[in-house]
């Protein structure tokens, strides 16, 4: 693996790991993590609360399914350091993309 990408020169916590660079470039690689059955109050219908975990960066994604369909998306829980305050600038996005190319072009 290549050295971590540093997005902001004066901020040591702004390093992105190789996993973060990869997930930011080609999206997460989800594996099923948990499925919990929930019975809705006043209904016999069962809902399933599903979580997925990225096998690279350990981000979590959660949603609820009823009768085999996603009915509610609960969002993501990102690992520490994945998100960059204020989002990435166009230059930082370029840096992430270039780091991805460097990482996998050996
Ligand atoms: Zn990921």
Q: Which residues surround ligand 1, an ion (CB under 5 A)?
A: 23, 28, 54, 56-57, 59
Instruction: Give pLDDT tens digits for 20-54.
Output: 999 999 999 999 999 999 887 788 889 999 999 99
Asked if residues 66 and 45 have their Cβ atoms less than 8 Å apart, the reply is yes
Percent of the chain predicted with pLDDT > 70: 87
Say how many Å lie between the CA of residue 53 and the centre of ligand 1: 8
Percent of the chain with pLDDT over 90: 62
Distances (CA, A) of 18 to 5, 49, 64, 80, 103: 8, 30, 31, 14, 8
Flag whether pLDDT at 4 surpasses 60. Answer: no
Confidence grade of residue 100 (pLDDT, cut at 50, 70, 90)? very high
pTM of the model: 0.80
Ligand 1 center–CA 35 separation, angstroms: 19
Average pLDDT, the chain: 86
CB 16 within 8 A of CB 96: yes
CA of 65 relative to ligand 1 center, distance in Å = 22
Which pLDDT score, from 0 to 100, does residue 51 have? 96
67 C-alpha vs ligand 1 centroid, how far in Å? Answer: 28
């Amino acid at each position: 693996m290549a050295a971590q990408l540093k997005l902001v020169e004066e901020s040591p916590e702004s390093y992105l790991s190789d996993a973060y660079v990869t997930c930011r470039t080609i999206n997460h690689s989800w594996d099923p993590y948990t499925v919990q059955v929930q019975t809705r109050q006043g209904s016999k219908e069962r809902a399933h609360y599903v979580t997925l975990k990225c096998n690279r960066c350990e981000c979590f994604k959660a949603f609820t399914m009823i009768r085999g369909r996603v009915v509610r998306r609960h969002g993501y829980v990102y690992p520490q350091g994945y998100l960059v305050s204020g989002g990435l600038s166009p230059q930082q996005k370029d840096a992430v993309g270039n780091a991805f190319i460097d990482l996998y072009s050996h």
